[in-house]
Chain A
Amino acid sequence: MARTLTINGEQKSFDAPPEMPLLWVLRDILGLTGTKFGCGIAQCGACTVHVDGKPVRSCVLSVGALQGRAITTIEGVGATEAGARAQKAWLDLEVIQCGYCQSGQIMAAAALLMTTQDPDDSDIDAAMAGNICRCGTYVRIRAAVKQAASGQKS
Chain B
Amino acid sequence: MTVTAQLSDVSRRSVLAGALTSSFLFAFHLPVRAVNELAEPPNSTDRKFAPNAFIRIDREGHITLVMPQAEMGQGIYTGVAMILAEELDADFKQVALQHAPPDEKLYTNPLLGVQATGGSTSVRAFWTPLRKAGATARAMLVQAAAEQWQVSPKSCSVTNGVVTHNESGRKLGYSELVDAAGKLAPPKDVALKDPKDFVLIGKPLKRLDTPDKVNGKTIYGIDAMLPDMKFATLAQCPVLGGKVATVDDSAAKKVPGVRNIVVLDDLVAVVGDHMWAAKRGLAALTITWDEGPNARISSKDIWADLRVASEKDGVIAKSVGDVSKALAAGQRFDASYEMPFLAHATMEPLNCTVHVTPNSCDVWAGTQIIARARSIAAQAAGLSEDRVTIHQHLIGGGFGRRLEVDMIATAVRIGSKVDGPVKVVWTREEDIQHDIYRPVYRDNVSATVSGGKIVALKYRVTGSSVLARWLPPAFQKGIDIDAVDSAVDTPYSIPNFQVEYVRAEPPAVQTGFWRGVGPNNNVFAIESFMDEVARKTGKDPIAFRRGMLDRTPRIQHVLDLVAEKSGWNRPLPPRVGRGVSLQPTFNTSIAMVVEAEVDPMGDVRVRQVTIAVDCGIVVNPDLVVAQLEGGMIFGLTAALYGDITVDKGRIQQSNFHDYRMMRIDQAPKINVHLVKSGEAPGGLGEAGVVGGPPALRNAIYAVTGVALRRLPIDRRLIAEKRS
A 115-154 binary contact with B (CB < 8 Å = 1; else 0): 0000000001110111111111111111000000000000
Docked complex Cα distance between A134 and B638 (Å) = 11
- B389 in the interface (beta carbon within 8 A): no
A15: min CB distance to chain B, Å: 9
Task: How many A-B residue pairs have C-beta atoms within 8 angstroms? Tell me.
Answer: 183
- A34 in the interface (beta carbon within 8 A): yes
- A106 in the interface (beta carbon within 8 A): yes
Q: Taking A31-B23, A33-B225, A102-B214 as contacts, is the C-beta distance between A129 and B665 under 8 angstroms?
A: yes
- B213 in the interface (beta carbon within 8 A): yes
Contact B347 A134 (CB under 8 A): yes
- A99 in the interface (beta carbon within 8 A): yes
- Chain B residue at minimal CB-CB distance from A86: B214
Q: Within 8 Å CB of A37, what residues of B?
A: 222, 275, 349, 425
List residues of B (378-402) whose CB comes within 8 Å of A's CBs.
394-399
Docked complex Cα distance between A99 and B195 (Å) = 32
B3: min CB distance to chain A, Å: 20
Tally A residues with Cβ within 8 Å of B.
Answer: 59
Contact B631 A136 (CB under 8 A): yes
Q: Which of B68-76, B570-578, B587-595 contacts A (4 or more CB under 8 A)?
A: B68-76
- Chain B residue at minimal CB-CB distance from A130: B663
B582: min CB distance to chain A, Å: 21
Q: Output the residue of A33, A36, A75 with the most chain B CB within 10 A.
A: A33
List residues of A (49-96) whose CB comes within 8 Å of B's CBs.
73-75, 78, 87, 90-91, 94, 96
Contact B667 A139 (CB under 8 A): yes
A68: min CB distance to chain B, Å: 22
Q: Within 8 Å CB of B634, what residues of A?
A: 134-136
Q: Taking A17-B256, A31-B24, A124-B664 as contacts, is the C-beta distance between A136 and B223 under 8 angstroms?
A: no
Contact A74 B215 (CB under 8 A): yes
B357: min CB distance to chain A, Å: 23
Docked complex Cα distance between A58 and B275 (Å) = 14
Docked complex Cα distance between A68 and B649 (Å) = 49
Q: Output the residue of B219, B220, B397, B664 with the most chain A CB within 10 A.
A: B664
Choose one: A94, A100, A129, A130; the contact of B626 (CB below 8 Å).
Answer: A94
- B203 in the interface (beta carbon within 8 A): no
Docked complex Cα distance between A138 and B394 (Å) = 21
Q: Within 8 Å CB of B630, what residues of A?
A: 97, 135-137
Q: Within 8 Å CB of A131, what residues of B?
A: 663-664
Contact A39 B656 (CB under 8 A): yes
B241: min CB distance to chain A, Å: 25
Q: Within 8 Å CB of A35, what residues of B?
A: 216
- Chain B residue at minimal CB-CB distance from A102: B213
Contact A87 B214 (CB under 8 A): yes
Q: Within 8 Å CB of B218, what residues of A?
A: 99
Tally B residues with Cβ within 8 Å of A.
Answer: 65
Q: Taking A17-B256, A37-B222, A136-B630 as contacts, is the C-beta distance between A97 and B75 under 8 angstroms?
A: yes
Contact A132 B661 (CB under 8 A): yes
Contact A134 B345 (CB under 8 A): yes
A82: min CB distance to chain B, Å: 13
- B87 in the interface (beta carbon within 8 A): no
- B148 in the interface (beta carbon within 8 A): no
Docked complex Cα distance between A25 and B273 (Å) = 11
B672: min CB distance to chain A, Å: 10
Choose one: B24, B214, B664, B667; the contact of A90 (CB below 8 Å).
Answer: B214
A107: min CB distance to chain B, Å: 10
Q: Output the residue of B75, B218, B399, B669 with the most chain A CB within 10 A.
A: B218
- A27 in the interface (beta carbon within 8 A): yes
Choose one: B216, B347, B427; the contact of A40 (CB below 8 Å).
Answer: B427
- B655 in the interface (beta carbon within 8 A): yes
Contact A99 B23 (CB under 8 A): no
Contact B347 A75 (CB under 8 A): no
Q: Output the residue of A25, A38, A136, A141 with the most chain B CB within 10 A.
A: A136
- A4 in the interface (beta carbon within 8 A): no
Contact A128 B664 (CB under 8 A): yes
B468: min CB distance to chain A, Å: 28
Q: Which B residues form the contact surface with A (CB < 8 A)?
A: 21-24, 72-75, 206-207, 209-211, 213-220, 222-223, 225, 231, 256, 273-276, 279, 345-349, 394-399, 425, 427-428, 622, 626, 629-634, 637, 655-657, 661-665, 667, 669-670
For the complex with contacts A29-B274, A38-B428, 20 further pairs of A-B residues with Cβ separation under 8 Å are A16-B276, A28-B273, A37-B222, A40-B655, A41-B657, A43-B655, A75-B215, A94-B206, A94-B207, A99-B213, A100-B347, A125-B665, A131-B663, A132-B661, A134-B397, A135-B397, A136-B630, A137-B626, A139-B669, A140-B626
Q: Which A residues form the contact surface with B (CB < 8 A)?
A: 16-17, 20-21, 24-25, 27-41, 43-44, 46, 73-75, 78, 87, 90-91, 94, 96-103, 106, 124-126, 128-142
The 10 residue pairs across chains A and B that have the minimum distance between CB atoms: A34-B216, A136-B633, A98-B73, A100-B396, A99-B213, A97-B73, A28-B274, A33-B223, A74-B216, A138-B667
